[in-house]
C-alpha cells in the first residue's frame, strides 16, 4: 500500500499566526497526508488541536492527535505532535535531559502492520552541534530498543545540514526521503523572497523524514511552500515542510 507522511514546523504562534494558519489549512487540504508530524506547536494557543478541528470541519479528514510538550519550564510554551488517520497502538516519549528537548513515538497500525513514527526537534544553535550529537545518539539508541515493527519513520527539525557531524551519526539503515533541503521563507522578512541562498540560515532550518525497515519511497518533495497569493510576505511558516508517499 501507499500512504502519505508530511512534516511541518508551526513556528509556535509567532509571525502573524491568525493569518498564516489559513494558508496551513488550505495547503493541508490539498496535501491530505495520512500522517502529519508537527514541530513547535503552541501550547497556549493549542495550534495542534486547532488544525485537527479544521481538517475535520473543512475536509472531513479525521485525525487523532498525540502531543508531547517540551520538558521543564518550556513545557508551558511548546510541544510537538502527530496527526494520524491510522489506529494508534501505543505512544511513548524520551526526555533528552538537555534544553527541554524531547522525542515522542506513536505506534500505528497500517493495514495490519505496526509502524513506529517518531517526532523530534533538536537543539537549534548552529555552533553547538555537540549537543545535537548527544541528542541523536540518545534518539537512535531508543529507536534501537523498539525494533519489533515493520517500519520506522523519524520526522523532525534537526537544525543541521546533511554534512553536520550530528547528521552523520544517523545509522546507515535510515534513509532520508527528500533530495532537496527545506529552506527559510520570507515570513520573518516581509517583502523578501525565500532565503535559499543564505547558507547560515539553513543551519537553523533543516527538516527531515527518515525511514527504515520495510518502507520504500514512491515520491517526495517540499510542502507548505507557497505564500499567500495576495501577499508574498505571508507564508504558512518560517520554513517549508517535507512530504513523502511511502510504500509498505
C-alpha radius of gyration, the chain, whole number: 17
Digit-coded pLDDT (tens) for 57-75: 999 999 999 999 999 999 9
Residues 6+ apart with CB under 8 A from 227: 23, 185, 186, 233, 234, 235
Digit-coded pLDDT (tens) for 142-192: 999 999 999 999 999 999 888 899 999 999 999 999 877 788 888 866 655
Q: Using an 8 Å Cβ cutoff, are 118 and 139 in contact?
A: yes
DSSP, res 238: S
Give pLDDT, residue 178. Answer: 86
198, pLDDT greater than 80: no
Q: CATH number of the domain that 18 lies in?
A: 3.60.10.10
Host domain of residue 6: 2-247
- pLDDT, the chain, mean: 92
As a whole-number percent, the residues of the chain with pLDDT over 70 amount to 93
Report the distance separating Cα 120 and Cα 81, nearest Å: 9
Domain count of the fold of the chain: 1
For residue 26, the Cα-to-chain-centroid distance in whole angstroms is 18
Query: Smallest Cα–Cα separation from 132: which of 142, 122, 141, 140?
Result: 122
Give pLDDT, residue 98. Answer: 92
199, pLDDT greater than 60: no
Give pLDDT, residue 130. Answer: 93
201, pLDDT greater than 80: no
Amino acid at each position: 500500500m501507499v500512504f502519505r507522511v508530511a512534516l511541518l514546523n508551526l513556528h509556535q504562534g509567532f509571525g502573524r499566526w491568525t493569518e498564516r494558519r489559513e494558508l496551513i489549512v488550505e495547503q493541508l487540504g490539498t496535501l491530505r497526508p495520512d500522517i502529519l508530524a508537527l514541530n513547535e506547536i503552541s501550547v497556549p494557543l493549542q495550534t495542534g488541536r486547532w488544525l485537527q478541528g479544521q481538517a475535520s470541519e473543512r475536509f472531513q479528514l479525521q485525525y487523532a492527535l498525540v502531543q508531547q510538550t517540551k520538558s521543564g519550564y518550556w513545557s508551558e510554551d511548546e510541544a510537538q505532535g502527530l496527526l494520524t488517520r491510522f489506529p494508534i497502538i501505543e505512544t511513548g516519549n524520551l526526555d533528552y535531559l538537555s534544553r527541554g528537548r524531547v522525542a515522542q513515538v506513536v505506534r500505528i497500525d497500517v493495514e495490519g502492520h505496526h509502524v513506529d513514527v517518531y517526532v523530534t526537534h533538536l537543539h537549534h544553535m548552529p555552533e553547538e552541534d555537540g549537543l545535537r550529537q548527544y541528542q541523536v545518539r540518545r534518539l537512535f539508541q531508543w529507536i534501537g530498543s523498539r525494533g519489533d515493527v515493520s517500519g520506522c519513520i523519524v520526522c523532525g527539525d534537526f537544525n543541521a545540514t546533511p554534512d553536520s557531524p550530528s547528521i552523520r551519526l544517523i545509522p546507515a539503515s535510515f534513509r532520508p526521503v527528500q533530495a532537496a533541503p527545506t529552506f527559510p521563507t520570507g515570513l520573518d522578512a516581509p517583502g523578501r523572497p525565500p532565503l535559499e541562498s543564505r547558507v547560515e540560515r539553513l543551519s537553523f532550518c533543516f527538516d527531515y523524514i527518515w525511514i527504515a525497515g520495510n518502507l520504500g519511497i514512491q515520491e517526495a518533495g517540499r510542502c507548505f511552500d507557497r505564500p499567500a497569493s495576495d501577499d508574498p510576505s505571508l507564508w504558512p511558516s518560517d520554513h517549508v515542510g517535507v512530504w513523502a508517499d511511502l510504500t509498505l
